[in-house]
Structure 1
Amino acid sequence: MATDVVPIDLTVSPSGGKRNVLGVLVDVIDYDAAVDRVVEAAVRRRPFILTALAVHGVMTGVGDLRHNARLNAFDVVAPDGQPVRWALNLLHAAGLRDWVSGPELMLRVLWRAAVEDLPVYLYGSTQRTVDRLAAALTLLIPGLRIAGTEPSKFRAALPGEEVEIAGRIAGSGARLVLVGLGCPRQESFAHAMRPFLDMPILAVGAAFDYHAGLLRPAPRWMQRAGLAWLWRLAGEPRRLAHRYLVLGPRYLLRLAAQASRLWTPSAPGPAAHRPAELPPV
C-alpha cells in the first residue's frame, strides 16, 4: 500500500546579503535564514561554510588581510553579538532586530538536523569536551545522530592530513560538521576543508564549551546591553584581556571612522577556496 511522503521544504528564508564592516563582509541575516541555508546545503550535499563573528573575529580579519580574504569567502558570516549587529544597523541601515549567537545557532541547527535526520560530526576542542558535548546534545535533542567526534590536535596539519580528516568525516556518514577550534583557527580550518567536503561546515567557537557545561553564558540583560564581553573577561581575565581591552576600543574607533566616512575600508576579495597553507587541526 502506498504511503504519503512529506517532502522536505527547501525554501530558504531570505537574507539581506553581505555588508562591509571594517573590511569584513558580514551578512545581514537572522537565525531562521541562517538555519535554512545550512539545512538546504546539507540536504543537497553542497559545500558550505559559516561562521558567527563577534568583535574579536572581525578585528582578526582587520589585522590580517590574508585571513580577511578567507572570511570574505565564507558563504555566511553571521553577526555574533550586539556590537556587530549595531555596526550593520549603523553603517548600512540593516534593520536587524537581533544578533546571531554561535551557541544558539548551533542548537537551532541541531534541532533541525534531528528533524531532517542529518547526522553531525563534532570536530575540535579536547577529548573530554567533545565527549561531554556529545553526551549533553544527545540528551537534549531527541533523535539527534552524532556520526563521530574528533578532538583538536592543537597544531598545524601535516601534508595531506586535511584529506585524511575529510575522509574520516565523510566516511562517518555525517551530513554537517561543527567545528570548535576558537577564532581564527576554526575559520582557517573551515576554509581549508571546504573543497574536500560536500556538506556544511560551521565554525561555532566557544559553543562547544557552553553546551558541554564548561562555560556559563552571560545573563541575557548583559548580552542585550553589549556587555557579554565583560562577563567573559571577568571569568578569564588573563586570557581575554588583550581581546577585550585592546581590540574592543580599536573596533569602536574604526567603526566611528567608517560611519563618519573618514575611512572607507576595502574588503579583500574572497580567497580561493583551496588555500596554499595547511589548516590548523
Structure 2
Amino acid sequence: MLNRLNKNIDESTKGFVRTVDKSNIPTCNILGVNIAAINMEWLIKYLNKNIDKLTGDYICVSNVHTTVTSYEEADYCTVQNKGIMAIPDGGPLSTIGKKRGHKNMDRTTGPSLMEEIFKISVEKGYRHYFYGSTEETLEKLSRKLNENYPNLEIAGMYSPPFRALTDIEDTTIVKMINHTKPDFVWVGLGAPKQERWMASHQGRVKGLMIGVGAGFDYHAESISRAPKWMQNSNLEWFYRLMQDPKRLFKRYLFTNTKFLWLIVRGK
C-alpha cells in the first residue's frame, strides 16, 4: 500500500529549521518538563501568527502520565523539552502553574485545540494531515470532519503499521506527507510513541506536528468526551477511566499517585 501511495511522489525530503524564538513562550518547570504557562486564547493567537515559521517543529500535549514518564526517563524529558512547547493538557499541571504565579495558565487539551483550529481553518486556508490510529478510525474521522467542518482541507491521512518502520518506509512516509503541503500534522500514536516520533522527525516533516493521543477517536466520535463540568473540574481522567478501566486503571493508579508524591516532596 505504501509503495502504491508513493508511486508518483518524487519530492525529496527537505530540512526545515526553526525560525521562531521560543524564549518568549512562558513556561513552568514541572518535574523537569518546561510546561507552557499559557491558555487556549494565547495558543491560538500564537499559532495563527507563526504557523508558517513553525513548519518542521512540534508541540507536545502533556499530562500527568507524560510528565511522570519524563521524570523517570531522561531521554523522554529531552523530547518533551525539545519541541516548540509542551502545552498543559492535564489539569494538575495548570493548577500547579497557577499556584506558582502563572495566573493565566489554563488547561489546553489536544481535542479542544483540534476543535479550535478546525473552526478557523477554512477562513485561514489551513491544510491538515492525520498520521496514526487505524484505517477504520481514520475513515470515521474523515467522515465526521466533513460533516462537522464543511470544506475543511484534509491534505491526507495515513495509518502506519503497528511495528517499527524500515528506513526506506520512513523516508517514503515523510515524502508522502511533505508532498501534500500541510500546515498541521496531527499525530495520534499515543504517548510516549507520538512524542518520540515527532522528535525524530523534527526538521524533516513539513507542517507543525502536534501529538494529540486520543484526539482522533474523539473527533471520529468513537469515544465521547467528559461533560464540561468534569473537564472544568479536572475530572476528565475519571471519565476516561470509566470508559476504558482495563487499560487505564494501572496507569492512573501509578502515575497519579507518584505525581502527587513527587510534588509533595518538592520535586
Q: Do Structure 1 and Structure 2 share a fold, with TM-score over 0.5?
A: yes
Contact 1:41 1:200 in 2 (8 A): no
Cα separation, partners in 2 of 1:96 and 1:249, compared to 1, 3 Å: farther
Structure 2 counterpart of 1:119: 127
Q: Cα distance, 1:240 vs. partner?
A: 0.5
Q: Cα distance, 1:229 vs. partner?
A: 1.4
Q: Does 1:161 align with 2:169?
A: yes
Q: Does 1:39 align with 2:53?
A: no
Structure 1 counterpart of 2:30: 21
Q: Cα distance, 1:44 vs. partner?
A: 4.0
Distance 2:206 2:93 in 1: 30
**1:145 maps to which of 138, 153, 156:** 153
Q: Cα distance, 1:45 vs. partner?
A: 6.2
Query: What CA deviation, in whole Å up to 9, does each residue of 1:206-236 have, x standing for no partner?
Result: 1110110111111222222222111111111
Distance 2:122 2:260 in 1: 40
Q: Does 1:180 align with 2:188?
A: yes
Q: How many pairs align?
A: 246
Matched position secondary structure for 1:85: helix
Q: Does 1:191 align with 2:199?
A: yes
> What fraction of aligned residue pairs are identical, expressed as a percent?
28
**1:74 maps to which of 51, 76, 83:** 83
Distance 1:28 1:73 in 2: 16
Matched position secondary structure for 2:166: coil
Q: Cα distance, 1:197 vs. partner?
A: 2.0
Q: Does 1:211 align with 2:219?
A: yes
Contact 1:42 1:118 in 2 (8 A): no
Q: Cα distance, 1:26 vs. partner?
A: 0.4
Structure 2 counterpart of 1:101: 109
Matched position secondary structure for 2:265: helix
Structure 2 counterpart of 1:57: 66
Matched position secondary structure for 1:147: strand
Cα separation, partners in 2 of 1:166 and 1:57, compared to 1, 3 Å: same
Distance 1:126 1:140 in 2: 21
Cα separation, partners in 2 of 1:228 and 1:169, compared to 1, 3 Å: same
**2:118 maps to which of 106, 110, 120:** 110
Contact 2:129 2:177 in 1 (8 A): yes
Query: What CA deviation, in whole Å up to 9, does each residue of 1:137-180 have, x standing for no partner?
Result: 12211331001100131222212433221100111232221111
Distance 1:42 1:215 in 2: 29
Distance 1:193 1:173 in 2: 16
Q: How do 1:261-276 and structure 2 match up within 5 A?
A: 263=267
Distance 2:164 2:233 in 1: 37
| Structure 2 residue identity aligned to 1:140 | N
Contact 2:70 2:77 in 1 (8 A): yes
Name the TM-score, length of structure 2 as normaliser.
0.86
Moved more, 156-165 or 193-202: 156-165
Distance 1:115 1:47 in 2: 23
Q: Does 1:86 align with 2:95?
A: yes
RMSD: 2.0
Matched position secondary structure for 2:35: strand
Q: Cα distance, 1:16 vs. partner?
A: 5.2
Structure 2 counterpart of 1:245: 253
Cα separation, partners in 2 of 1:15 and 1:34, compared to 1, 3 Å: farther
Unaligned runs of 5+ in 1: 1-13, 264-281
